[in-house]
Structure 1
Amino acid sequence: MGLFSRLFGGKEKVVKEVSIEPVEYKGFHIYQDPIAEAGQYRVAGRIEKEIDGEIKSHRFIRSDVVSNKDDANELMLKKAQMFVDQMGEGIFS
């Protein structure tokens, strides 16, 4: 049935937009946004900070893959905090 529905205009996928609440850490905002891959989740998100009136953003994608979304969010937060501790505002250069 899948072949015929694709050929003859089956249902379109509905994309849900999810609002992500940031975690504030040392003046930076960390957005946890894992990427679903083959039944697992890749650790990903972004780090943002307002510098001189401009919002700077750094996309953060790791090679780490875990079995559930909550673990991916927790690991993302820990790795992003460590990255902020090591690099500070140098993240954006």
Structure 2
Amino acid sequence: MGLFSRLFGSNQKEQSSKDIQPEEYKGFLIYQEAQAEGGQFRIAGRITKNIEGEVREHRFIRSDVLASESDANEFMLAKAKMFIDQTKGDIFT
């Protein structure tokens, strides 16, 4: 059962128990949610924005893994800001 738990989402349960504080950037909220994997951390997170009363969300997981959770979260934040800038804020259209 342990193998299936690791493959199908035990990390999600661990993440949801953490109190993740988003960072605001150009009207978007960026959630840094590095995922533990094999002693390293995969770069992952989500970007949200309230548009006309509806919260829209873009999730992403990169193939990159880093040695520390804080490094993975900082890299995710930089990538999310770059993504917002490159799309000129139109990530939900």
Question: What does residue 35 of structure 1 align with?
Answer: 35
Q: Deviations over 1:59-87 (max 9, x none)?
A: 02111110000100110000000000011
Runs (4 or more) in structure 1 with deviation over 3 Å come to none
CA distance in 1, matches of 2:52, 2:31: 21
Q: Shift in Å at residue 49 of structure 1?
A: 0.3
Q: What RMSD over aligned residues (CA atoms) do the two structures have, in Å?
A: 1.3
Q: Deviations over 1:13-46 (max 9, x none)?
A: xx65111000000000000000111000000000
Question: What does residue 76 of structure 2 align with?
Answer: 76
In structure 2, list runs of 5 or more residues that go unmatched: 1-12
Q: Shift in Å at residue 91 of structure 1?
A: 1.7
Q: Highest CA radius of gyration, 1 or 2? A: 1
CA distance in 2, matches of 1:48, 1:60: 12
TM-score by length of 1: 0.79
Q: Number of aligned pairs?
A: 79
2:63 counterpart SS class: strand
Identity percentage of aligned residues: 57
